[in-house]
Structure 1
């Protein structure tokens, strides 16, 4: 319980949710698993449709390991379409049919399978590599950190 109270992210979320009168606050606790930065994605659902998928960790990467490519991107590079297809299928089959709201943000972990990490309010969560204005007109777009230009 102490670890929960030391998390700024958790305290911020609880403060926001506690002001919602339409739904009671529900907490679900799971076993902790370390997640590699390249395996976490944020998905934006708008009007019950997948608007966008973003690499969750888009700033402050680990040191570059090859040709000045951020490690979190290097592990996704060449697999963008595969990741997009996996995430899109999961959202369409496992998330959207069970929604009781039209707009939300979902964080996912992709390892051997797709795991739902958490659900966040749409418009209040970090839009990662999007802006909320862009998401109004997107339909399933996938964004990840791009290869930086080489500076000589």
Structure 2
């Protein structure tokens, strides 16, 4: 689910820019590649969607339902996103949620989402996403989080500022009805990009590529999320998901966590129809849950967000090494945090 939105740049002496590339995005451009290779890339990207594996693993993950999205509805979301939100920079003003006018063409989708949410506990809310990625970069959610953060006393350290704002940002993704869900979708680059990608081959089999996912709202502590890397069916590397900060809850527990995650993975790996992928876990009170699975192939698709692991420097281990867990044990200075943070977060936390 959601986490601290921070880049993992190594060379902190470089000048920061406002153009932060989301490394979890699929590679859309064909560059001297065959059509067959692009089709292979696209098929692999969508094969990791939550709808592709949920049925086999529903007993170890968060309760989830799925909703069909039509190509016309997808185009409407992309159109609104392109017009009002596409790749806004940190210098752009934060738009007020009241300014959003949901297109009438999405009224039916709003109603269908609301109806599906009602099958859960509407008062508790739900987490909505595509079967591929979530709208955790939603400009609307970010604006909500900023408003809450600025109403509270500011934490004294950079580490604690990130944790506090990360926790608030997670809460900003909880929705209770269809209108709130659509607002997140139309203000998210991740959603807009994925829908564009799904629409590229045409309308045929669109619903087999992407759908809307509605998950029970489960507040997973930021410190409990871990990202694992699987290569040729072997779990080789794990790192804390929210990697820029130190969590005291993790200190001295790495061996227990590694053992628990390995045992959990061994129980479920035969049910995952992939050989190379990212797998996100939640480790809470000695229990492990599957959060989601994402595509990962450093050669064919893209270098996904690897956190405390570097595909450039750790490639051999990530492909062939014995399982190793990395957690951050020393706090980073505010200077480093300012240099490596997403510009939008930096402007809120350190200006």
TM-score bucket of the superposed structures, by smaller chain: 0.7 to 0.9
Report the counterpart of residue 104 of structure 1 in structure 2.
277
**C-alpha deviations, 1:108-142, integer Å up to 9, x for none?**
11114222111111144211111221412322111
- Distance of 2:200 and 2:276 partners within structure 1: 18
**Segment drifting more, 28-37 vs 50-59:** 28-37
With over 3 angstroms needed to count, the CA separation of the structure-2 counterparts of 1:5 and 1:110, relative to structure 1, is farther
Q: What's the TM-score, normalizing by structure 2?
A: 0.35
Which consecutive aligned stretches of 4+ in structure 1 deviate over 6 angstroms post-superposition?
17-21
With over 3 angstroms needed to count, the CA separation of the structure-2 counterparts of 1:52 and 1:103, relative to structure 1, is same
- Distance of 2:280 and 2:241 partners within structure 1: 8
- 1:121 maps onto 2:295 in alignment: yes
- Distance of 1:79 and 1:102 partners within structure 2: 29
Q: Per the alignment, in what secondary structure is the counterpart of residue 126 of structure 1?
A: coil
Report the counterpart of residue 309 of structure 2 in structure 1.
130
Q: Per the alignment, in what secondary structure is the counterpart of residue 34 of structure 1?
A: coil
- 1:143 maps onto 2:326 in alignment: yes
Whether the 8 Å contact between 2:277 and 2:294 is mirrored in structure 1 is: yes
Q: What's the TM-score, normalizing by structure 1?
A: 0.75
Report the counterpart of residue 33 of structure 1 in structure 2.
218
Report the counterpart of residue 86 of structure 1 in structure 2.
260
Whether the 8 Å contact between 1:18 and 1:25 is mirrored in structure 2 is: no
With over 3 angstroms needed to count, the CA separation of the structure-2 counterparts of 1:7 and 1:139, relative to structure 1, is farther
* Shift of residue 14, structure 1, vs aligned partner: 5.1
Q: Which of the pair has more CA radius of gyration?
A: 2
**Gapped regions of structure 1 (runs ≥ 5):** 62-69
Report the counterpart of residue 6 of structure 1 in structure 2.
187
Whether the 8 Å contact between 2:236 and 2:323 is mirrored in structure 1 is: yes
- 1:45 maps onto 2:221 in alignment: no
Size of the alignment, in residue pairs?
137
Q: Per the alignment, in what secondary structure is the counterpart of residue 291 of structure 2?
A: strand
- Distance of 1:75 and 1:98 partners within structure 2: 31
- Structure number with the higher helix fraction is 2
